Structure 1
Amino acid sequence: MTGIALVTGGQQGIGLGISRALIAGGYKVALASRSAPDKLAVQQALAELGPNAIYVQHDVSDIDHVPAMLDQVEADLGPITAFVNNAGVGAPVRGDMLELKPENWDFVQNINLRGAFFLAQDVARRMLAQPQDLYRSITFVTSVSATMVSIERAEYCVSKAAAAMMAQLFAVRMAPHGIGVFELRPGIIATEMTAGVRDKYTDRIEGGLVPAARWGEPQDIGSVIMPIVEGQMQFATGAAIPVDGGLSITRL
């Protein structure tokens, strides 16, 4: 049976790296984001991924639209067997956390936490209705910021720390049904989100911040996804996997 994957934010950055790996692994993939279908990034992603990829427009913060979006994916591809909860936003303004504005806090939490939870909730319910001998998985893409402090991005760190707990909650709830739940914690990855701080982090990486001595790339995240979705790590459900070149390893 061909696996069916839903990847939020799958048209660019880390999501695209994951989508590439899934397509190469024989999956049919639905990409979902708030971008209009005619956006260049969407069209380029679909052209690259080929006929086994589709695009559905969905704003993760719009939880009322979740059932309709999932209905569309199921109608076009079939029931989702692998869900990658990847879409997220960074801090709108980096700066002193003592100056953090409530509207920026709410913006980040509505997407990275509230929207992610209720989308995963609906996907999980639908997975429970599928045959129990069919392996299914949910993967939350969080960040090393789930445990590493960046005081200029307080709202982002809090959202990722809470998302890490969200992954644990879903792992325990879904384990009796043979549904694996995992958390991937990317480090410093070269994407659109980090483009504005490229020089800053390049200097720090060259100074030893990342033991692997390089930027991470979207394919580094993609390389981890196949063992998860194919059930090779089923008994490791609930695992939080750093994909960060050693960044989060405690050192003296």
Structure 2
Amino acid sequence: MSQPPVAQKPLALITGGQQGIGLGIAQALQGAGFRIAVASLPEANAAAVREGMAGLGHEAQYYQYDMAQTSGAAALLAAVEASLGPISCFVANAGVPAKIRGDLLEITPEAWDHVLDVNLRGTFFLAQEVARRMVARQSRHYRSISFVTSASAEMVSIERGEYCISKSGASMMAKLFALRLAPLNIGVFELRPGIIATEMTAGVKEKYSARIEAGLVPAQRWGAPEDIGRAVVPLALGQMAFATGMVVPLDGGLSVPRL
């Protein structure tokens, strides 16, 4: 079966889609017939942006966006829509880790704001603007919003408390948007990756490799960005539409309670 013309393909916007989990999601959605728009800060890793976008090909478009600056949400979406049309699939993937892993009792307001401004505040207000535009416009394509949180939304790591709190808050965010948008057949989902091999986890590779080998992850391996990408596709295509509000654990069994 031939693919529809590019202009008729649904559009997916992925924050942080230039590397890691975001790139895995972008590649999977592109393979499923979506056009791709990526939003991120180039200053964080300009080489990764160039490499990631080159891998996605000339049809994918990049937009500079600072998740911590919520005032830019409307302008970002206006720019995307002007070039590519309305968004059918939004994946809120961009996030930052704790600046320093350390004592919970030593977290500073600056460290707290660094994480919460992006992972929670910035994510909410961009998703809100996406949702407003989806509500205001009918579409022949199924629409969805997926929040990439973390196993840390539920599992506690006291050395990075601000990160856990941000992901727990994002989990509630997904539920709230799911209920608000369910009557309009706009699906909302929460993806909870576990220990995934990305740039963000490179600094703890030895630590977690040893723990995985010792049985921490029942699947006995690191997760990969493509594991997350494969899970997003049926959600974005509407194949799981009646499961709106669903939490999808993508952690190889890490979060399953055990004796």
TM-score by length of 2: 0.95
User: Shift in Å at residue 25 of structure 1?
Assistant: 1.0
Supply the AA of the counterpart residue of 1:220: D
Q: Which residue of 1 aligns with 2:5?
A: none
User: Shift in Å at residue 222 of structure 1?
Assistant: 0.4
Does residue 94 (structure 1) correspond to residue 122 (structure 2)? The answer is no
Supply the AA of the counterpart residue of 2:175: Q
Does residue 32 (structure 1) correspond to residue 39 (structure 2)? The answer is yes
Q: Secondary structure at the match of 2:235?
A: helix
Supply the AA of the counterpart residue of 1:205: I
Q: 1:171-182 maps to which residues of 2 (within 5 A)? A: 171-182=178-189
TM-score by length of 1: 0.98
Q: Which residue of 2 aligns with 1:122?
A: 129
Does residue 84 (structure 1) correspond to residue 116 (structure 2)? The answer is no
> Does structure 2 retain, via aligned residues, the 8 Å contact 1:132–1:177?
no
Work out the CA distance in 1 between the residues paired with 2:195 and 2:230. 16
User: Shift in Å at residue 37 of structure 1?
Assistant: 10
**Which structure 1 residue ranges, 4+ long, deviate > 6 Å from structure 2?**
none
Aligned equivalent of 2:159, options 152, 159, 177: 152
Q: Secondary structure at the match of 1:148?
A: coil
Q: Aligned in 2, Cα 1:63/1:10: closer, same or farther, shift over 3 Å?
A: same
Work out the CA distance in 2 between the residues paired with 1:130 and 1:4. 14
User: Shift in Å at residue 108 of structure 1?
Assistant: 0.5
Structure 1 unaligned residues grouped into runs of 5+: none
User: Shift in Å at residue 132 of structure 1?
Assistant: 5.5
Kindly, what percent of the aligned residue pairs are identical?
Answer: 60
Matched length:
252
Work out the CA distance in 2 between the residues paired with 1:102 and 1:226. 38
User: Shift in Å at residue 135 of structure 1?
Assistant: 1.1
Q: Which residue of 2 aligns with 1:6?
A: 13
Q: Which residue of 1 aligns with 2:113?
A: 106
Supply the AA of the counterpart residue of 2:103: D
User: Shift in Å at residue 77 of structure 1?
Assistant: 1.0
User: Shift in Å at residue 200 of structure 1?
Assistant: 0.1
Q: 1:1-252 maps to which residues of 2 (within 5 A)? A: 1-36=8-43, 39-131=46-138, 134-252=141-259
Work out the CA distance in 2 between the residues paired with 1:236 and 1:54. 30
In the TM superposition, what whole-angstrom CA distance separates every residue of 1:99-127 from its partner, at most 9, and x where no partner exists? 11111011111000000000000000000
Q: Which moved more, 1:47-56 or 1:78-87?
A: 47-56
> Does structure 1 retain, via aligned residues, the 8 Å contact 2:97–2:200?
yes
> Does structure 2 retain, via aligned residues, the 8 Å contact 1:189–1:216?
yes
> Does structure 1 retain, via aligned residues, the 8 Å contact 2:10–2:141?
no
Supply the AA of the counterpart residue of 1:93: I
Work out the CA distance in 2 between the residues paired with 1:44 and 1:78. 25
Supply the AA of the counterpart residue of 1:152: E
Supply the AA of the counterpart residue of 1:32: A
Supply the AA of the counterpart residue of 2:86: P
Supply the AA of the counterpart residue of 2:243: A
Structure 2 unaligned residues grouped into runs of 5+: 1-7
Work out the CA distance in 1 between the residues paired with 2:196 and 2:36. 22
